[in-house]
Amino acid sequence: MCNIAGYSGNRRAAPILIEMLRREQFMDGGLSTGIATIHEGKLYSAKVLGDVDELLRSTDALHFPGNCGIIHSRPAGNLRSHAHPFLDEDECCAVVLNGTMRGVGVPEFYEKSNRMIRPFYERGCVRTAYLPKKEPKRILPDGRSYHASEIYALLMGEQMKKNGCTEESAACALRYVFSEFPADIVVLSVHAAIPDTITFGTVSRPVCVGIAPEETYLATTALAFPEDAGIETVLPLPTCTIAQATPGKLNISGKKPRGVRVENISHRAAKIAYERLERILSGQKNDPKSIYDIPVYREWRDLWSEPLVDCQYCKEGDMLKPTASLFYEALWSFHKEGRLRGVLGEYKGRRIVKFWLD
């Protein structure tokens, strides 16, 4: 899965974002990387094929101005245009997304996506169009396909343009896109007209919040947070939740996306996931495990008490559940206990972190 991070505070965001992503990118990423910051009403963005080091070699990202921004690393990297962040039509709103559309891949989902992206295509602002190797489900009028995440950026920017570029309209825009296209995702976004604010939310994928005096950190896992940042509060964002981060503050919206409800992590589920992962990782220094060696999606279905189908597009027998969050929360618990160890290894020819427990 992709890894994401965000920062809003009283220091320049770019170096902090880069170091946070460096700490988590090879948990399952590193093949394409991108960043966006905002400063004095302007959006600064860059993306590359490759990891954080390639971003630093090929762009001026380290020196981007602004005390608020987002960053992303993806475990795929064929086209630079498919790296995150994605921008809206006016290039004022930047979005990074972690997740997958596989669980919602019913015909109705793609038919709606193809219909809603068409006006953007006709205005010439679909930037991820490409010729696929096989028959695509996401189809533009010219027969090319497009990246699934771009529709979220285009729709979010359009909604804000229509309703005014305010913190409230940003939260409403993200709620709108989650309601239109619910999937196993988490989204972080910034807009040039809204200083110091990250609008973010999750349907079912993990995002953790760290709050320090005058600073707020966001990441896929708290393992990415700087250890010397003076973070006083660490908490995972609940499922189906929209929130906004400003320096030292977190504002959680009371309004949920329409048409989707995802089970939260119960104490029972967290305890069982912790115990299962503990058995898998204990004493495995000579055979450490990556995220791909731990079949959480196949074998942890019994942890959920509610039906697997959670929204209008979820395929029968599939599920939108915060399983990845269980995995990362267990790793964070092991880290706090001083037991978690990791080493950089390989998976299918790419770098990946493998874990064990002392």
Q: What is the pLDDT of residues 39-61, one digit of tens each?
A: 999 999 999 999 999 999 999 99
Q: Does 259 reside within a domain? A: no
| End position of a domain, from candidates 204, 219, 252 | 252
Residues 271 and 248 in one domain: no
Q: What is the pLDDT of residues 86-107, one digit of tens each?
A: 999 999 999 999 998 877 878 9
Q: Does 137 reside within a domain? A: yes
Q: Which two tokens stand for residue 279?
A: 């058995």
Q: What is the pLDDT of residues 228-251, one digit of tens each?
A: 999 999 999 999 999 999 999 999
Residues 216 and 277 in one domain: no
Q: Show Cβ contacts of residue 67 under 8 Å, excluding neighbours closer than 6 positions.
A: 7, 8, 9, 10, 11, 12, 13, 39, 196, 247
Q: What's the whole-number mean pLDDT along residues 289-312?
A: 83
Q: Does 262 reside within a domain? A: no
Q: What is the pLDDT of residues 121-146, one digit of tens each?
A: 999 999 999 999 888 899 999 999 99
Q: Does 33 reside within a domain? A: yes
In the prediction, which pLDDT does 310 show? 67
Q: Which domain holds residue 133?
A: 3-252
E strand intervals along the chain? 3-8, 32-39, 42-49, 68-74, 86-87, 93-100, 184-191, 198-202, 208-212, 215-219, 233-236, 241-246, 249-252, 340-347, 350-357
In the prediction, which pLDDT does 179 show? 93
Residues 230 and 273 in one domain: no
CATH number of domain containing 345: 1.10.10
Q: How far is CA 181 from CA 58, 104, 165, 178, in A?
A: 34, 9, 22, 5
Residues 238 and 271 in one domain: no
Confidence of residue 317 (pLDDT cuts 50, 70, 90): confident
Q: Does 260 reside within a domain? A: no
Q: Does 50 reside within a domain? A: yes
Residues 70 and 204 in one domain: yes
Residues 221 and 146 in one domain: yes
Bridge partners of 198, per DSSP, are 245
Residues 240 and 273 in one domain: no
> Does pLDDT of 316 surpass 80?
no
Q: Does 68 reside within a domain? A: yes
For the chain, the straight-line distance linking the first and the last C-alpha, in angstroms and rounded, comes to: 26
| End position of a domain, from candidates 252, 277, 299 | 252
Poorest-pLDDT segment among 145-154, 214-223, 260-269, 274-283 = 260-269
In the prediction, which pLDDT does 103 show? 78
Residues 287 and 230 in one domain: no
In the prediction, which pLDDT does 309 show? 63
> Does pLDDT of 269 surpass 90?
yes
| End position of a domain, from candidates 252, 280, 313 | 252
Residues 84 and 162 in one domain: yes
In percent, the amount of the chain with pLDDT more than 70 equals 99
Residues 174 and 106 in one domain: yes
Q: For the chain, how many structural domains are there in total? A: 2
Residues 162 and 280 in one domain: no
Residues 279 and 227 in one domain: no
The pTM score is: 0.96
H or E, element range at 16: helix 13-24
Q: Does 302 reside within a domain? A: yes
CATH number of domain containing 247: 3.60.20.10
In the prediction, which pLDDT does 217 show? 98
